[in-house]
């Protein structure tokens, strides 16, 4: 099926616009590729107003992964300026991400360690490292599919930028982004269950 190439912010003839919107709502790979390449910079700018560094990169790709996976989200675009709609979606997702990160940050840890003296800082740090290593090993053994292990190590443990990690692993960036997105879902579920236990 050949899909019309509309953007120029989705405004031409009614028939062509209707066909393009239908393909967009269905999640057509051709339309999605077109949207990704045309609007990546727009999403980058919107997210960049809220986040920087690896968080910015993560959210940019979360926006596109969500767009690809969530038919309900795509259905939310009914026409008009796709650029403005995507910028709003990206900005909102960046704000949600920042709020989520702030909620996840332990509140009392820095104060407890800072008032306890240098020896206590070293001990707390060593204990935290051992506990973190054990959690990572448990996550890898119990939840992480072996095929995603290299992406997990490159992006989450070594914290390489996506482009550098994809190049080092010899894979397309979109493949890495998809695997990273799935790993984040597994991590979230794993840590939520760990907290409840």
Closest C-alpha to 149, from 180, 191, 177: 180
Q: Is the dihedral of CA 81, 85, 90, 92 positive or negative?
A: positive
Question: Which tokens belong to 22?
Answer: 């239908």
Q: Which residue stretches of 27-108 are H helix?
A: 29-48, 53-69, 71-75, 82-104
Query: Going from the N-terminus, what domains does the chain have, and what CATH number goes with each?
Result: 14-103 (1.10.1740.10), 117-196 (1.10.10)
pLDDT at 31: 87
* Sites in the chain below the pLDDT cut of 50: 1-4, 9, 107-118, 120-121, 123-124
The pTM of this model reads 0.52
Q: Could you say which DSSP state residue 153 is in? A: I
pLDDT at 109: 46
């Amino acid at each position: 099926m050949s899909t019309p190439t509309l953007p120029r912010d989705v405004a031409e003839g009614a028939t062509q616009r209707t066909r393009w919107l239908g393909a967009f709502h269905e999640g057509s790979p051709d339309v999605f590729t077109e949207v990704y390449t045309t609007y990546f910079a727009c999403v980058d700018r919107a997210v960049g107003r809220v986040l920087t560094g690896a968080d910015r990169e993560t959210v940019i790709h979360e926006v596109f992964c969500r767009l690809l996976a969530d038919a309900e989200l795509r259905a939310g675009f009914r026409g008009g300026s796709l650029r403005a709609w995507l910028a709003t979606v990206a900005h909102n997702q960046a704000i949600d991400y920042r709020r989520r990160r702030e909620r996840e940050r332990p509140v009392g840890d820095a104060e407890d360690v800072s008032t306890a003296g240098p020896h206590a800082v070293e001990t707390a740090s060593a204990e935290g490292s051992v506990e973190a290593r054990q959690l990572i090993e448990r996550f890898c053994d119990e939840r992480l599919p072996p095929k995603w292990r290299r992406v997990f190590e490159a992006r989450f443990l070594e914290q390489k930028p996506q482009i550098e990690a994809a190049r080092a692993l010899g894979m397309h960036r979109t493949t890495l982004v998809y695997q990273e997105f799935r790993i984040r879902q597994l991590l979230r579920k794993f840590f939520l269950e760990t907290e409840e236990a």
